[in-house]
Chain A
Amino acid sequence: MTDYSTPLFYIVAAVVLIPAVLMVTFRNLIYSAAAMILCFIGVAMVFVTLNAELLAISQVLIYVGAISILIMFAIMLTRQRSGEIRLFFHRQAWLALPAALALAVTMAVVLSRASFSTTPGPRNPGTSDLSNLLFDQYAFPFELVSLVLLVAIVGAILLARRERRR
């Protein structure tokens, strides 16, 4: 098969990066939320290119399905008078961008400097491998994560409950 992977990668990268930038720069929250969803889909596509289908599907399920909706709810609940949304901090905004870029550059340099022993092409781990790892080697973290989720649920309910005057 002809080598479509490189142009495909660039398309997928674009699908990820452009909405990300839009998300951050959009004035209206709804638009930035939509951009985020697009970005998550992009990420799912990246997983696909990395032969991690299971991950891609779970990514779509969780991020696009659950978390984005959650954020949409949050946006709805905290409807603000649209007028005064000031996009950035006046003070820190101009500092944040260069800082982020500097961060990116340094990380890139560090990564480029580092040497990884890499096998030539992407390998193809099946779902069975994942499940083996997940349920015997990492069983304990798995249980732990469930605990974390439990705590998060209880916490979220408590925090967001409408305060009843006692």
Chain B
Amino acid sequence: MHSFQQQAGFPILTVMTFLPTLGALVMLALMRGRPQLYKSTALVTAGATFFLSLAMVLKFDQSSADFQFIEKVSWIERLGASYHMGVDGISVLLILLTTLLSLVIVPASWNYIKDRELTFFASFLFLETGMLGTFCARDLLLFYVFWEIMLIPMYFIIGVWGGPRRIYAALKFFLFTMAGSVLMLVAIVGIAYLARPDRYAAPVFDLDQLQKAVFSFPVQVAAFLAFFIAFAIKVPMWPVHTWLPDAHVEAPTAGSVILAGVLLKMGGYGIIRFCIPLFPDAAAAAVPYILILSIIAIIYGAMVSLVQKDLKKLVAYSSVSHMGFVTGGIFAFNVIGLSGAVLVMFSHGLLTGALFLLVGFMYERLHTREISLMGGLASPFPVLAAFLLFFTLASLGLPGLSGFIGEFLSLLGLFSYNKAMAVVAASGIILAAAYLLWMYLRVMFTGTRDEEWFKLSDLNLREIASLAPLAVLAVWVGVYPSTFLNIINPSVNKLVTQMAPYVAQHGGLLTHLFASRGGL
């Protein structure tokens, strides 16, 4: 049993999750009006959380597949809900990503925010708590609580510090996610009650017991759909993605980085952690439909990005396209596909986070995100051009950088499930190269449009410092991915072996179904 006592000596997960809140409260209470003080506190808090997560990763026992650093305290007796925190390979990787991005955005938005800076940093720290809690929660109710905690600060970040249409965007973001999570709440309560051993026992919210409970197929399908819709909105998958471009365009730089870097991973993580293990039959049955949706997402996202005029919208739609690989990889239900999906999540967080940082830096200088108003930025800002080139190439999947590994593995996983689907999905990499390079050409190359830009300063040390860790990690994942693969392998294998009987049983049914229609 990997309880936190043996592994870390102190309840590392709880400390890590609630440290940012502590920092935020201290800042709010004592440091109003003293920018230098609260900015550095924010940096210190984010830094401390990052090092805690780093320590956790180092102490993480990569051989065992079950959950580690377990903390279990009964929370609401009568409801049977317990404060049960634990992490496995996949959550460790995503936690590392979250703390890194939260650390990186603090220096990046040092002078980006003009009004109410203190509450801006405080809301980010609250957001971080929500995110970390969601990744560590092993109890459905606790998970839902953190899921909602995460929503509120994000709403304010978009709503208060956003661009001109921020209210519409924030509201749309909130309502979309809310609709999904309310559905999920119904499902949570439903299965908690269904899973009770007998009529009078308390409902079961704890994931370990829930996984033992077996639900009938219709219940599984209903609950799976409820959970899946909530997570699909977060991913975002194709039909429910329209909130993402609006939210990104209006959100401040740091908001976009976290929104793209971490919040989108919630969807993928949720599917892996809840939809598949709890409702294996339904998951296996839903595979072809979800794969079709993810392929549409890949192609649709890429195509729409081709015609975007606003830089942030372009990157937002590219996120829709990249996340299509995630859902495609997950629902291929083999080790290669699933590890690919997790790696895409990790690398997409790094790359899109960096791209948004760069767009933010450009906005700070040119005060516009319209591609048509930019042109020839490479001459006045060579360092900015170099960084943007690096991250553009990484996100279009240039081999040797992190984007390629994840995408190739997910495609390979999809390929072994169904060749035709994989071929269509693979065409996504051509479209990705097209829209990203075309963006780079219109923004960086060709003649400099406006002479004053030469007077503006190139990236300063602070900005480079916020980009450097992301670049280093992007190269590390690209050149030596086994450090990250070893972390997630045990839990990926466990999930795939767990799903194998169901896929075999359902796989047959559905491929047969598809075959009869001369299908894929």
The answer to whether any beta carbons of A and B sit under 8 Å apart in the complex is no
Binding site for A on B (CB under 8 A): none
